[in-house]
Structure 1
Amino acid sequence: MLTRITALSIALLWAASNYGLFAQESEDTGPFDAAVAAAQKRVVKIYGATIGRTPGYATGIIISPDGQILTANGVYLGEGSVRVTMPDGSQQPGEVVRRSQSLQTALLKVSVPTPDYFALPEQPAAKKGDWVLAISNAFKVAEGSEPLSVNIGVLSLRVRLDARRGYNDFPYEDDVFLIDAITSNPGAAGGAVVNSQGDLVGLIGKVIEGKTTGTRLNYAVPADLLAKFLRNEEAAPLVAATPTGQKGELGIRLFALGGRKSPAYIDRVVSGSPAAEAGLKTDDLVVAINGEVVRDSGDYRRLADGVIAGEEVTVEVKRKNDLLSVRLKPTLIKTSIPSLNLP
């Protein structure tokens, strides 16, 4: 189910801009001022890698006094030098501790004390119909100590996420809060969703956009699921963090005959490689990588050159009359494994 901008959303945005909900200085005191002020001290800006048109920035929430930060998983965390801009404007290097594939979140660590932080509740801090506030660095509106954007909406319902990203299953596999607020924008992922008292409701999720309609889903990862992730109590296994953002190796070798315009048939699979572990075989025809269509060997080379070691990749292949989709994690390129040598 994908949401669209409704008349209610527009009215809420108008009310927010006219009643100081975007953290602008005002002498008036609004009903959410205390919640907004508390959240601003507990939300950070995150900067990292950029690949193609994917933004290299996001948002994060502080969840402990010793510098633990939760954010949405993404390519911006694939680079070795992740920068975290703290609420006071200071910049700190961020270390990726671990990731959750099922929740599409990541745990970071900075080496400075963080006395202001969100407590992760064991039970949801809001219910259907409650007002919620979304605080994030959408569109990178803040670079230093400037206040983050604040959006207001209503928590619609809690539901199991069953969406698709491109032509492949979106890897999120758990409940989400659907919210009537416009949060699905570049940079907003990893931001905080709080109730009117400033208690954490959830974490703004990654952008999910319908391939055919162009509409986006506004949702948050519930805070009680974040608490389970922090305690290592997820049902799904955790994906280990990668030490660098270097180019990854899939272990696929194509037939070189015909040059770049030849079909992307697999000639061989490197023994012990991610492709071998995923069960790919000689004569499989690669038709898509991460939802992008592979029309020929040139398309494959372009897409394969962009994969990052440790960042999960979805590869679709045609095997006789069957269409198969596999997920694999590229490894670091080793000199003992030759690179593709297409004309």
Structure 2
Amino acid sequence: MTVSRRFLICSIVSLAMTLTTGAASQAESFSNAVDQVQPKVVKLFGAGGLKNLANYGTGVLVSPDGHIATVWNHLLDSDVVTVVLHDGRRFFGKVVGTDSKVDLAIIKIEAEDLPFFNISDTAEVGPGALILAFSNVFKVATGDEPVSVMQGVVSAKTKLAARRGRYRASYDGDVYLVDAVTNNPGAAGGVLTTADGKLLGMLGRELKGTNNTWLNYAIPFSVLEKSINDIVAGRFSRTDDLLAVADETESSGFQSIDFGFLLVPDVVARTPAYVDSVIEETEAAKLGLQPDDLIVFANGELVHSIQTLQGVFQRLLPGDDLQLIVRRNNELVTFTFEVPRKQ
């Protein structure tokens, strides 16, 4: 055998050994990432079941004391949400804060010493980066079963241009677009990580892009970090800010009629905030509010009942904005009113 042939054979063997070692190392990195991330991801069960709305979803632990970040949506319409940890333990969680501008809700359960993500320690990646997506997509897990894991790559980091039905999505900031099919029923609120388990973003709701194709995306935790920290610390609430001002002034006393619509009669303690009628040639009519729309959020606050909504109205100040999110059939639709200046 000539020297050149021997050298070629040795080079091929060396390359094969390098590729095998690299593949084994990557597989081990993935395995370690899965073991590290899955205990920090929880399964959520709440409102839904009507008009094909799934009654399950995903959240991620962001504090050792039971604070869970997820996407705000119809799942949170009920008083409490059932939270199932990775080991099968079940808790009742309550929504303690929301930020509709970034599609965020924080749920709290009474538990301690839980594994959690440090959201101040996040990664930033570009196109081509390997990623893992963790979520309870299609309700695969209901107890101590692990949530599903998908592997893919980042296609782009760009502004979100999407819609829900005929309406634009409320969030239009930065997102990671990925080439894996990550955003399906139950996935919203899941987590996107690097191949070695570093935090990247939160999986969003099911949305279609401007070209009418379903999007697979995640909102970077660098976008969510401030709102999460403020809600967990108890210092984030738009309504709290208004209340602080209202304490120093006379109550505004606004009602739904001031915005051009009437609610159904408030006959029981927790009458849902359904729109009964819309007055012609008012702001509500111009914006497209309709009878039978169910108001589920008002200025980021979950609306449990007409009484809850009236409490939000009482804290409004002239010249401010009132954002209402309504459930219409199987869609969530956003309306922004200008609070009138009373004569």
Aligned CA-pair RMSD: 3.1
Determine helix, strand or coil for the equivalent of 1:94: strand
Match of 1:231 in 2: 229
Task: Please say if 1:313 is aligned against 2:325.
Answer: yes
Q: Distance in 1 between matches of 2:113 and 2:270?
A: 27
Q: Give the counterpart of 2:220 among 219, 222, 225.
A: 222
Q: Distance in 2 between matches of 1:164 and 1:105?
A: 17
Higher helix fraction (1 or 2): 2
Confirm or deny: 8 A CA contact 1:42 1:87 kept in the other structure.
yes
Q: How far apart are residue 212 of structure 1 and its match?
A: 7.7
Match of 1:93 in 2: 92
Q: Structure 1 221/240 Cα, relative in aligned 2: closer, same or farther at 3 Å?
A: farther
Q: Structure 1 245/158 Cα, relative in aligned 2: closer, same or farther at 3 Å?
A: farther
Q: Structure 1 227/285 Cα, relative in aligned 2: closer, same or farther at 3 Å?
A: closer
Q: Distance in 2 between matches of 1:161 and 1:29?
A: 32
Q: How far apart are residue 195 of structure 1 and its match?
A: 0.9
Confirm or deny: 8 A CA contact 1:137 1:148 kept in the other structure.
yes
Q: Give the counterpart of 2:335 among 299, 323, 326.
A: 326
Q: Structure 1 45/246 Cα, relative in aligned 2: closer, same or farther at 3 Å?
A: farther
Match of 2:173 in 1: 174
Determine helix, strand or coil for the equivalent of 1:157: strand
Confirm or deny: 8 A CA contact 1:245 1:308 kept in the other structure.
no
1:18-66, Cα deviation, whole Å (9 max, x unpaired): xxxxxxxxxx964400001111110000011114221111100011111
Q: Structure 1 227/249 Cα, relative in aligned 2: closer, same or farther at 3 Å?
A: same
Q: Structure 1 67/315 Cα, relative in aligned 2: closer, same or farther at 3 Å?
A: closer
Q: How far apart are residue 164 of structure 1 and its match?
A: 2.1
Q: Distance in 2 between matches of 1:104 and 1:127?
A: 23
Confirm or deny: 8 A CA contact 2:122 2:198 kept in the other structure.
no
Q: How far apart are residue 115 of structure 1 and its match?
A: 2.9
Q: How far apart are residue 239 of structure 1 and its match?
A: 6.3
Confirm or deny: 8 A CA contact 2:59 2:190 kept in the other structure.
yes
Match of 1:143 in 2: 142
Confirm or deny: 8 A CA contact 2:295 2:327 kept in the other structure.
no
Amino acid at match of 1:161: L
Q: How far apart are residue 155 of structure 1 and its match?
A: 1.4
Match of 2:311 in 1: none
Confirm or deny: 8 A CA contact 2:99 2:227 kept in the other structure.
yes
Structure with the larger RCO, 1 or 2 (CA within 8 Å, 6+ apart):
1
Confirm or deny: 8 A CA contact 1:315 1:326 kept in the other structure.
no
Match of 1:112 in 2: 111
Match of 2:185 in 1: 186
Q: Give the counterpart of 1:253 among 234, 253, 277.
A: 277
Q: TM-score, normalised by structure 1?
A: 0.65
Amino acid at match of 2:107: L
1:122-166, Cα deviation, whole Å (9 max, x unpaired): 653433321100010000000000011110011122211122222
Match of 2:250 in 1: none
Confirm or deny: 8 A CA contact 2:80 2:95 kept in the other structure.
no
Pairing 1:2-17 to 2, within 5 Å after superposition: none
Task: Please say if 1:49 is aligned against 2:47.
Answer: yes
Match of 1:38 in 2: 36
Q: How far apart are residue 246 of structure 1 and its match?
A: 5.6
Confirm or deny: 8 A CA contact 2:67 2:106 kept in the other structure.
yes
Unpaired stretches in structure 2, ≥5 consecutive residues:
1-25, 241-268, 304-323, 329-333, 338-343
Larger Rg: 2
Confirm or deny: 8 A CA contact 1:48 1:57 kept in the other structure.
yes
Match of 1:76 in 2: 75
Q: Distance in 2 between matches of 1:90 and 1:145?
A: 8
Confirm or deny: 8 A CA contact 1:165 1:211 kept in the other structure.
no
Identity over aligned residues, as a percent? 32
Q: Distance in 1 between matches of 2:27 and 2:129?
A: 21
Q: Distance in 2 between matches of 1:200 and 1:228?
A: 15
